[in-house]
Amino acid sequence: MPTLTVSGKTSEVAAGTRLVKAIEDAGVEIGHRCGGHARCTTCRVAFAEGEPDTMTRAEYDKLTERGMIGQHRLACQIVCDHDMAIAEVVMTRENQGWEDTGSAPEPTVTPDPATFPIDELRGA
């Protein structure tokens, strides 16, 4: 079972869990204002370790559009399939003053769970 370290706490996560959900389950009220569809970027995180070298096309396109490529990743577009450590959860209910974190993401990555090597997306 992969582990996730966030906010100084390490826990086991069922393989295939969306990272945004795993972070939430770890007790961090991460934003997911678009419901996990790669539209809002409120779920963005910085990795300390275990950053995947693949992305969904939706994540690549959104990070490129917002000028965030290479800085942050979208937790709603990543599944926990190996050990990961998160250095920063950028937007939380607490630090943004939101009443809630957004509608619940579906269990599987949306809009399309297929991932590609980042270099391949860059060249597309």
Contact footprint for ligand FES (CB under 6 A): 32-34, 36, 38-43, 74, 76
Q: Which is nearer to ligand FES, 8 or 114 (CB)?
A: 114
Which residue's CB comes closest to ligand FES?
76
Q: Please, what is the minimum distance in Å from the beta carbon of residue 44 to ligand FES?
A: 7
Q: Please, what is the minimum distance in Å from the beta carbon of residue 30 to ligand FES?
A: 9
What sign has the CA pseudo-torsion 55, 53, 106, 97?
negative
Which spans in 4-113 are helix H? 19-25, 57-65, 93-96
Residues 87 and 47 sit within 8 Å (Cβ to Cβ): yes
Half-sphere exposure of 43 (CA within 13 A, CB side): 28
Q: Please, what is the minimum distance in Å from the beta carbon of residue 107 to ligand FES?
A: 14
